[in-house]
């Protein structure tokens, strides 16, 4: 760190932090990004395991969401393909064609014709409604008010898990869930070379515009000074002075970095968690089965390598199995691994004979906040929570979570910093 005073210090080098860095760098702000890990990326990084590209569990980016246009504004190219809509729904030992595409709708035996007509009507309603009108409802309440048909309720809960990674319909905000269902209906992209390709491009954009990025930098304390500046204490480094801070780390940790008197509502946030099984195979035993969801149990399965290049040679089959955790669930790592592998065995019998490598992550944080009713009020006034202190991340948006929230809040926090600094400059 060759400079001790900055226009902005960004804490955290995940997607939100790097978006903020790229925006600030383009605006000519003297910016320092601090990342506690050895490399940037956060939950969006990709690990190379035996020549295979493993995202941290299954990752896809919404084609029609908030993140894609923001990334394109910043010069990021997103290469990859959209998976076909369809697949299987598992109900106990029964498999049904998913009624998510016109062909699947006609072929599926999960619903009778009366239920199919109701299902189409509900999907059309979800596409047209305004999510903000449902701020006071949980997703469970929305589903109960929308239909009393058990199979359609199951479908709505399944679709909700798919777009939000959440398995707590009785807690999650209908507002956020419906917003994600709307953009989810537009399809997703599986990204070539994993999400690291997005991270690397953002990193390069930031560095090209003179943003300084320091890894292995563990921030210990944030102190507001009397002159309106901030002091950032970093382990084994001199204190850093700055005009603004954009915090993109875990919401529950922010209060601990501030003075003891700071009690932020973020302390009460619960993360969304899941168990993931990442698998590379030489071939698929059953090449027809590319996507499946459990409707009686919270499972996801998808082959990503049919639509994206996810290995160094481009010849492997890369698939992901996920179990969505409930916030109150007790997790046993061995049991989670067994359940994930058993679910895969149903869909791909004998898959273990074709293993190149596999990885089980029994409890990963998918999103920093499980959005609940009323949470949105914390973010309607912008990203600033104290003068000169801004938040960004997958948890720091009124209307979205996941990469949508990370990109949107990362850009918004940077724009608020730029606006503040420009006003001060013109006032002087």
Task: Give per-residue pLDDT as tens, 364-381.
Answer: 999 999 999 998 888 867
Calculate mean pLDDT across residues 327-332: 94
- pTM here? 0.95
3-state helix, strand, coil in the chain (%, to 5): 35, 25, 40
The token pair that represents 259 in the structure block: 């003075």
Pick from 1-10, 123-132, 190-199, 268-277: least confident:
1-10
Mean pLDDT of the chain: 95
Calculate mean pLDDT across residues 93-120: 91
User: How confident is the model at residue 262, as a pLDDT?
Assistant: 67
**pLDDT at 4 exceeding the cut of 80:** no
**pLDDT at 139 exceeding the cut of 60:** yes
**pLDDT at 82 exceeding the cut of 50:** yes
Q: Tell me, which fold does domain 88-186 have in CATH?
A: Guanine Nucleotide Dissociation Inhibitor; domain 1 (1.10.405)
Q: List the CATH code of the domain at 5-44+197-267+372-427.
A: 3.50.50.60
Neighbours of 331 (CB within 10 A): 12
In the chain, ranges of CATH 3.50.50.60 domains: 5-44+197-267+372-427
In the chain, ranges of CATH 1.10.405 domains: 88-186
User: How confident is the model at residue 3, as a pLDDT?
Assistant: 55
Task: Tell which phi-psi region holds residue 126, choosing left (phi > 0), alpha (psi between -120 and 50) or beta.
Answer: alpha
Residue 13 near residue 41, CB atoms below 8 Å:
yes
Rounded Cα gap, residues 353 and 421, in angstroms: 60
Q: Where are the beta strands (DSSP E) in 200-354?
A: 212-214, 219-224, 230-234, 240-247, 272-281, 291-294, 299-303, 317-324
pLDDT band of residue 399 (cuts 50, 70, 90) is very high
pLDDT in tens, 167-183: 999 999 999 999 999 99
Calculate mean pLDDT across residues 133-162: 97
DSSP one-letter code for 265: G
Calculate mean pLDDT across residues 67-74: 98
pLDDT in tens, 289-302: 999 999 999 999 99
């Amino acid at each position: 760190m060759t400079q001790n005073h900055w226009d902005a210090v960004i804490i955290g080098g995940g997607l939100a932090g790097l978006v903020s860095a790229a925006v600030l760098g383009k605006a000519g702000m003297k910016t320092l990004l601090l990342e506690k890990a050895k490399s940037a990326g956060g939950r969006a990084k990709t690990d190379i395991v035996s020549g295979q590209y493993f995202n941290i569990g299954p990752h896809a980016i919404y084609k029609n969401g908030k993140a894609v246009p923001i990334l394109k504004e910043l010069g990021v190219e997103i290469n990859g393909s959209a998976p076909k809509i369809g697949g299987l729904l598992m109900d106990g030992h029964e498999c049904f064609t998913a009624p998510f595409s016109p062909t699947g709708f006609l072929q599926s035996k999960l619903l009778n014709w009366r239920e199919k007509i109701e299902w189409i009507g509900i999907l059309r309603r979800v596409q047209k409604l305004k999510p903000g009108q449902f701020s006071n409802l949980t997703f469970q309440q929305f589903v109960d008010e929308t239909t009393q048909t058990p199979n359609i309720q199951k479908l709505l809960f399944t679709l909700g898990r798919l777009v939000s990674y959440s398995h707590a319909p009785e807690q999650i905000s209908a507002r956020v869930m419906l917003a994600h269902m709307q953009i989810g209906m537009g399809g997703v992209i599986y990204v070539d070379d994993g999400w690291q390709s997005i991270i690397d491009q953002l990193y390069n954009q930031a560095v090209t515009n003179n943003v300084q990025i320091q890894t292995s930098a563990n921030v210990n304390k944030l102190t507001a000074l009397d002159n309106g500046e901030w002091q950032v204490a970093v382990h084994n480094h001199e204190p850093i002075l700055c005009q603004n801070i954009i915090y993109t780390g875990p919401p529950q940790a922010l209060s601990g970095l501030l003075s003891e008197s700071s009690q932020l509502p973020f302390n009460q946030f619960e993360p969304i968690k899941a168990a993931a099984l990442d698998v590379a195979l030489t071939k698929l035993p059953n090449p027809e089965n590319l996507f499946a969801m459990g409707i009686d149990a919270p499972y996801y399965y998808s082959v990503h390598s049919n639509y994206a290049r996810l290995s160094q040679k481009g010849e492997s089959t890369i698939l992901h199995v996920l179990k969505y955790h409930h916030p109150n669930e007790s997790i046993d790592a061995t049991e989670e691994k067994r359940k994930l592998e058993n679910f895969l065995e149903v869909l791909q019998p004998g898959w273990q004979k074709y293993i190149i490598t596999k990885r089980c992550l029994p409890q990963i944080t998918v999103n920093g906040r499980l959005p609940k009713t009323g949470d949105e009020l914390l973010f309607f006034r912008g990203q600033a929570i104290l003068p000169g202190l801004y938040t960004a991340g997958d948890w720091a948006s009124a209307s979205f979570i996941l990469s949508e929230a990370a990109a949107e809040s990362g850009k918004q926090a940077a724009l608020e910093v730029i606006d503040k600094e420009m006003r001060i400059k013109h006032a002087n």
